[in-house]
Copies of this chain bind each other. A is one copy, B any other.
Amino acid sequence: MPDESPSSAPPPRWQRRPEARPEEIVEAAMTVFGQSGYARAKIDDVARVAGVSKGTVYLYFDSKEALFREMVRTRIVAALAEAEQFVRDHDGSGRELLVEVIRRMYLRMRSDQMTQLARMVHSELPHFPELARFYFDEVILRARRLVAQVLARGEARGEFRPGASGFAARGLSSLLVHTAQMQCFFQRFDPQALTEDQAIEGLIDLYLHGVLAHPSDRT
């Protein structure tokens, strides 16, 4: 009879956790793709970070491309849904709402994970036409509509200049996304880098003056 002392129950070399794997693999993909970019990233590395073997990754995702697509989908949609919820629930002046939306969107974007994701999306989109379509419909347009909605609210109250919203709804995303990326990446080189607060307040100040009908009213 083989010695089976109580403490020596041989721990299984691995566990079967089919429900948890996909999310774990996507999270690992965020890390690995984020650091290396799509082309350089190795499925082997994603697997290692996720704590599984390469074969397991292919058990849950058809291909490297499919994994990338799923990653972008799940991560971005979550961020946008949150912002939409906030706008729906908020009431008050257009200005207050706008300032708070900018602040929240910026804080979402400034994380390493999100700036990396944005970088990847912009550089890889041309190679994934199907994902590009999805991204345009479900991200660009939704974000634009969200901002436009905020601007319309302030415009209806006479707080914001009429007519500006056509471009202004597009411009805010550009300002937010690009500023967050610059702050994140170039901070280390920049002796006179702005602090996070300075960046946010500067951004709000510039954009607010851009859209307000009567900027002279102090905050």
Contacts and interface: CB of A to CB of B under 8 A. Distances in A.
Contacts of A178: 173-175, 177-178
Given A39-B40, A174-B182, A190-B136, A168 B202 contact: yes
A157 interface: no
A166 B203 contact: no
A58 interface: no
A199 B167 contact: yes
A167 B189 contact: no
B132 A189 contact: yes
Contacts of A212: 209
Nearest to A133: B189
A210 to B, nearest CB: 4
A81 interface: no
Contacts of A189: 132-133, 136-137
A206 interface: yes
Interface string A180-219: 0110011001100010001101110111011110010000
Contact of A175 (B39, B40, B175): B175
Among A37, A178, A179, A199, chain B packs the most CB atoms within 10 A around the CB of A178
Given A189-B133, A194-B170, A205 B37 contact: no
B119 A122 contact: yes
A189 B178 CA distance: 21
Contacts of A140: 182, 186
A161 interface: yes
Interface stretch (A23-31, A60-68, A98-106, A123-131): A123-131
A51 interface: no
Interface in A56-87: none
A158 interface: no
Given A132-B189, A182-B174, A189-B136, A205 B123 contact: no
Interface of A: 36-40, 119-120, 122-127, 132-133, 136-137, 140, 161, 164, 166-168, 170-171, 173-175, 177-179, 181-182, 185-186, 189-190, 194, 198-199, 201-203, 205-207, 209-212, 215
